[in-house]
Amino acid sequence: MKIHPTALVADGAKLAEDVVIGPYAIISAESEIGGGCVIGAHAILENRVVLGAGTKVGHGALLGGNPQDLTFDVTRTDTGVRIGKNNIIREYVTIHRATQEGCNTIVGDDNFLMTGCHLGHDNIVGHGVILANNVLSGGHVHIEDRAFLGGGSVFHQFIRIGTLAMVRGGCRFSKDIPPFLMATGENHVAGLNAIGLRRAGLTAQARMDLKRAFRLLYQSSLNVSQALEEAVHESWGPEATHLFNFVREGKKRGICDYIGKGSPEDE
């Protein structure tokens, strides 16, 4: 264990033997830090924070801070942040703890959060997600596996971002972004994330199914409810089924609209 002499580690913190903690870092008594973790200079872990093995926390990051929620009782001790294995959390990232009793803001494994990102309270982030610089996420946002959120993009509370979605930088969203699609502008999708789907190893059949599903949802004469009813009568692979289920389960915000007029193959 390598703890810089200027770091402050509270009594009660649980640290693996090979943890490295940099200058002026502050570690709360409720923190649990797994093997191989590195905590950068001036980083702060406050309240209840759990870090999985191999996670790297950059300089000046703040994990476990109180929610930016005017109704939250800051004396509560039963909420926290739980972060999985092998994450890269770069400098000045902020991740706030949950508001709900006994709950955590959750980040899975193998994610990359670049400089200046913010995850609000009660966020759930899956595995293999990339957040480019200065992504801002409000409370209760759910980001599924392998989504890519471009730099400076902004996300309203309670929305969902589907697996393998690709979000253009500098855009803002208050509606759900369905899986496997490219999102742009303000609450718009532009087609399938075609390059991302191939890089992720989706089969040609899976990609064809998603093109067919996209046409039904966005390019037919049917509204979303009618398209979902029609989809029940057709055969779909697991990826297209996930797309329809994602849309079907989105009752709070609705889904982004289609901005284009071409076919999804052109995206």
Asked if 139 contacts 119 with a C-beta cutoff of 8 angstroms, the reply is no
Cβ–Cβ under 8 Å, residues 139 and 124? no
How far is residue 15's CA from residue 20's CA, in Å, rounded to a whole number?
9
Backbone φ, ψ for residue 42 (5° rounding): 65, 5
* Cα distances (angstroms) measured from residue 134 to each of 54, 65, 84, 127: 23, 18, 21, 19
DSSP per-residue codes, the chain? -EE-TT-EE-TT-EE-TT-EE-TT-EE-TT-EE-TT-EE-TT-EE-SEEEE-TT-EE-TT-EEEEPPS-TT--TT--S-EEEE-SS-EE-TT-EEEPP-STT-EEEE-SS-EE-TT-EE-TT-EE-SS-EE-TT-EE-TT-EE-TT-EE-TT-EE-TT-EE-TT-EE-TT-EESSBB-TTEEEETBTEEEEE-HHHHHHTT--HHHHHHHHHHHIIIIISSS-HHHHHHHHTTS---HHHHHHHHHHHH--SS-BPEE---S-GGG-
Catalytic residues: 121-122, 139
